[in-house]
Structure 1
Amino acid sequence: MIRFIKRSMVRVLVAVTNGSEEIELLTPLDLLRRCQAEVVLAASGNSLEVTLGKGVRIIADDLISNVSNQDFDMIVVPGGPGTGNLRDDPILIEMLRRQKQSQKWYAAICAAPALVFETHGLLEGEVGTCYPSCEKQLHNKSRVHDRVVVSNKCITSKGPGTAMEFALKLVEALYGQEKADELSHTIVFR
């Protein structure tokens, strides 16, 4: 059973970089904002303007470097062709390490569980799943066929086709099952 935060304003950082996958980025961001979470879309690097994996251009709310000392209830990392940029961002990695050490939620989808989390030891003591072509990089492969995996305070998912389930699991983690079910019904998902 997932224990959830019982306060009015939940803060979430969603990382973004050039090449982030659109569905994996925007689905969690959208659903969390529908729950009234304060979601900060933070860009890796030094530009707020980001071109996503399929060419969609967006403007981030802030830079990861500007919010690195802020406290977040959850950090979400999308996959996509730009995942290596997030893997190589030392500020984001330090934030994720603090998040894990503080036993706060952190989540990744697609290539990010393997390239970002596994590479930096963030899956140590956890099980997870990821995009099929990245599965060989996971140390613990016991749950790689699951669409979404919750392991302690770590949530991972397979890819664009699982983005809605992933996002609803994030909502459940932060707000509880009832809120996730209500949102699922509202958006006509289930």
Structure 2
Amino acid sequence: MVSVNEQPTVNPAPEPHGHGLRLRRWDAESDADVAAWLRGLEDPEFRRWNTPLKPVTDLGSARDSLRAQAVRVASGDRVSFRVTDADTGTTLGQISLNTIERVMRVARVGYWVLPEARGQGVAVRALALVTRWAFTEFGLHRLELGHAVGHEASCRVAERCGYAYEGTLRGAMFEAGRLDAFRDVHLHARIATDPEPAVK
């Protein structure tokens, strides 16, 4: 447990696990990790709701993207996990704490699930797991979750994990596939003192 006066630790161990999942560190030198990262960012459903600043279109750019993420993790700006099945180790998706603000102990949650793992509650279970870890082990006070207006699946994930809807942010996210147009975002959030919902 991190006290109020302590700062969140960069890349702490052990890796979170529970709800049938284990959250593992991404490894930019692992061919399997790079391939999974590429499949996640190339997925049409991911691209429908997210617009990477730098396109990831092949294994080379995927490895570069993972290496760039590792730099952000090392700097303390982000904590990122590969969501895996606890028993088989199969990669199911990704979840991260982004834009970590250490003074106010706030971060923004982001996640995606690979196509073959959808419909199994992976996003809900991963979000519940990383939320508990962020509050009890990493010392954060507030977690925010933003999704494009219309992304009903992400809205349901947030609500099932106790992230209350706090309002609509106008023009706060790029339109799909564009860096010159914007769309509105629903903002959800949880704070450490909120009750923890039951997640199966």
- TM-score under structure 1 normalisation? 0.35
**Bigger strand share:** 2
Structure number with greater Rg is 2
